[in-house]
């Protein structure tokens, strides 16, 4: 905290996409009108114990998050100045707000999601709907702000936010000077048929840092944990693994180096918060190629399905496969995920860990005599390292659990590590 100014980091977790038994572990690492079991919203908020941003209080288009019966209502037109749709939209919103008030929860809430992308097709009906929706939400008098994702014409009291990869460069800012400058989404989910993609931790980190350097207030990692679309909850063509690039993978394990890289990014930004929050400061060199300061940082068939460990019994589990599109049942395999192999990589060109530095009397200084890069391993869930399977000081190739020696290797590498 610097005189009332601070960085705000959030991570999106869609609570129905993981069993309640996994929630404590997900929170620890991240820090239809059905609210039972996986959909227990009140239990989710009570357990997380921190301020949350409650998204998607709108009935989203394309039946993506709509109850199927809504489509059968006579003369209904989704997300438009249409009385049948607005009636059900208002009833749903009031129901959620009542649940929050009954438990004395007051989270920041989202009332629309990227309506700008479809608003032109509705013409004047789209504009009237957005204004009605904003007035309806504000009229509920929740005492906390409402937001609209990527909505440039949001009603005055409602804050518009940025969705995109590089909001530090593409977002023109909030619709009022008194509003927070919020970057709500970084990622997109994958549909069947999409090619594999991976946005690097470094690219996301630069985008987050640049956003804060442009007077950003809050950055949200969407998603921080993607989870699983259980049963028939997935939207059209979206894979059962909702998001496969999140810092916490579908199985509840940290994805490295992304998880650790974001942790170090937050520490680095806190070290530099005075320069970022209070105007231009001199650049301070931390060593070769390192500096801080106010410097600008420049198919349709599911092939895999996650069965959470939390819902499995020690034995006598019974699996039913509903194959609607044909296929070979004898080709089904049950695979397990290795939760007990961890790896770390470091090179001579890597920067030292961010914890090498600290701030003292306004000056960033080193905590050690000679900062050097280091590879660190930490076991989760109070486990301990029992053996070293592979170590190489050289140019190994492969990935975690499947490394092999390269063309260069110090023969005593593993012995030294052990």
For the segment 392-415, what is each residue's pLDDT rounded down to a tens digit?
Answer: 999 999 888 889 999 999 999 999
Indicate if the pLDDT at residue 75 is higher than 90: yes
Three-state SS at 278: coil
Give residue 404's pLDDT.
92
Q: Mean pLDDT of all residues in the chain?
A: 78
Give residue 287's pLDDT.
53
Residue 418 in any domain: the answer is: no
Count of CA atoms in the C-beta half-sphere (13 A) of 242: 26
For the segment 317-349, what is each residue's pLDDT rounded down to a tens digit?
Answer: 777 766 656 667 777 777 777 777 888 888 888
Count of CA atoms in the C-beta half-sphere (13 A) of 200: 3
Apex CA 307: angle with CA 304 and CA 309, to 5°?
140
196 or 371: which leads in pLDDT: 371
For the segment 296-317, what is each residue's pLDDT rounded down to a tens digit?
Answer: 222 334 556 677 777 778 888 7
Give residue 407's pLDDT.
92
The domain that holds 56 is classified in CATH as 3.20.20.80
Dihedral (CA of 95, 109, 220, 359) sign: negative
**Selection from 243, 208, 8 nearest residue 108 by Cα:** 8
Residue owning tokens 């009237």: 128
Give residue 85's pLDDT.
93
Q: Could you tell me the pLDDT band of residue 4, with boundaries at 50, 70 and 90? A: very low
Residue 332 in any domain: the answer is: no
Give residue 291's pLDDT.
46
Tell me what the mean pLDDT of segment 222-251 comes to: 81
Give residue 49's pLDDT.
52
Indicate if the pLDDT at residue 139 is higher than 80: yes
Give residue 365's pLDDT.
85
Q: Which of 130-147 are b and which e, b meaning 16 or more Cβ less than 10 Å from the residue's Cβ?
A: beebbebbbebebeeebb
Q: Could you tell me the pLDDT band of residue 150, with boundaries at 50, 70 and 90? A: confident
- Phi then psi for residue 66, to 5 deg, are -105, 145
Residue 93 in any domain: the answer is: yes
Quick one: what percent of the chain has pLDDT higher than 90?
12
Indicate if the pLDDT at residue 96 is higher than 70: yes
Three-state SS at 117: helix
Are residues 253 and 318 in contact, defined by beta-carbon separation less than 8 angstroms? no
Q: Could you tell me the pLDDT band of residue 7, with boundaries at 50, 70 and 90? A: low
Number of domains in the chain: 1
For the segment 19-64, what is each residue's pLDDT rounded down to a tens digit?
Answer: 888 888 887 777 645 566 776 766 776 765 544 444 444 434 334 4
Residue 335 in any domain: the answer is: no
Beta bridge partners of 228: 241
In terms of phi and psi (left: phi > 0; alpha: psi -120 to 50; beta: otherwise), the region of 4 is left
Indicate if the pLDDT at residue 292 is higher than 50: no
Tell me what the mean pLDDT of segment 89-102 comes to: 87
Indicate if the pLDDT at residue 234 is higher than 60: yes
Residue owning tokens 């620890």: 28
Residue owning tokens 């070769």: 288
Q: How far is it, in rounded angstroms, from Cα 374 to Cα 286?
A: 17
Q: Could you tell me the pLDDT band of residue 99, with boundaries at 50, 70 and 90? A: confident
Indicate if the pLDDT at residue 87 is higher than 90: yes
Residue 84 in any domain: the answer is: yes
Residue 404 in any domain: the answer is: no
Q: Which residues constitute the domain of residue 277?
A: 8-292
Indicate if the pLDDT at residue 105 is higher than 70: yes
Count of CA atoms in the C-beta half-sphere (13 A) of 266: 16
Residue 303 in any domain: the answer is: no
Q: How far is it, in rounded angstroms, from Cα 225 to Cα 229?
A: 12
Give residue 81's pLDDT.
93
Residue 66 in any domain: the answer is: yes
Are residues 304 and 240 in contact, defined by beta-carbon separation less than 8 angstroms? yes
Three-state SS at 302: coil
pTM of the full structure: 0.69
Are residues 108 and 148 in contact, defined by beta-carbon separation less than 8 angstroms? no
Paired tokens of 289 = 């190629």
342 or 262: which leads in pLDDT: 262
Q: Which residues contact 272 (CB under 8 A, 6 or more apart)?
A: 292, 293, 364
Which of 76-80, 194-198, 297-301 shows the highest mean pLDDT?
A: 76-80
Work out the number of other CB atoms within 10 angstroms of the CB of residue 116: 19
Paired tokens of 391 = 């170590």
Q: How far is it, in rounded angstroms, from Cα 152 to Cα 161?
A: 8
């Amino acid at each position: 905290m610097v005189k009332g100014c601070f960085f705000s980091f959030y991570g999106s977790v869609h609570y129905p996409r993981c069993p309640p038994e996994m929630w404590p572990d997900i929170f620890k690492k991240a820090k239809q009108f059905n609210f039972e079991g996986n959909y227990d919203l009140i239990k989710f908020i009570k357990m997380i114990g921190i301020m949350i941003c409650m998204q998607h209080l709108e009935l989203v288009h394309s039946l993506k998050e709509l109850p199927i019966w809504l489509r059968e209502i006579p003369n209904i037109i989704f997300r438009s100045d249409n009385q049948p749709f607005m009636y059900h939209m208002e009833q749903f919103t009031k129901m959620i707000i009542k649940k929050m008030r009954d438990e004395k929860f007051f989270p920041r809430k989202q009332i629309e999601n990227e309506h700008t992308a479809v608003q032109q097709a509705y013409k004047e009906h789209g504009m009237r709907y957005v204004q009605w929706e904003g007035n309806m939400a504000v009229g509920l008098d929740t005492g906390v702000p409402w937001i609209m994702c990527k909505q440039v014409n949001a009603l005055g009291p409602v804050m518009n936010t940025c969705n995109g990869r590089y909001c530090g460069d593409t977002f023109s800012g909030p619709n009022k000077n008194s509003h927070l400058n919020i970057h709500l989404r970084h990622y997109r989910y994958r549909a069947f048929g999409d090619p594999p993609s991976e946005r690097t931790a470094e690219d996301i980190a630069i985008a987050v840092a640049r956003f804060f350097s442009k007077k950003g207030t809050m950055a949200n990692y969407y998603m921080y944990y993607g989870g699983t679309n259980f049963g028939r909850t997935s939207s059209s063509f979206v894979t059962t693994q909702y998001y496969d690039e999140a810092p916490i993978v579908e199985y509840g394990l940290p994805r490295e180096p992304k998880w650790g890289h974001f942790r170090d990014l937050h520490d680095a930004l806190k070290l530099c918060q005075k320069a970022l929050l209070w105007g231009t400061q001199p650049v301070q060199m931390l060593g070769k190629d390192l500096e801080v300061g106010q410097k600008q940082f420049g198919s349709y068939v599911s092939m895999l399905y996650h069965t959470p460990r939390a819902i499995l019994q020690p034995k006598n589990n019974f699996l039913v496969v509903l194959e609607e599109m044909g296929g070979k049942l004898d080709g089904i395999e049950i695979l397990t995920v290795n939760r007990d192999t961890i790896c770390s990589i470091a090179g001579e060109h890597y920067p030292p860990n961010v914890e090498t530095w600290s701030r003292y009397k306004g000056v960033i200084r080193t905590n050690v005599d000679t900062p050097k890069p280091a590879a660190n391993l930490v076991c989760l869930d109070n486990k301990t390292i029992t053996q070293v399977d592979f170590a190489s000081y050289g140019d190994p190739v492969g990935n975690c659990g499947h490394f092999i020696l390269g063309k260069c290797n110090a023969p005593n590498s593993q012995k030294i590590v052990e």
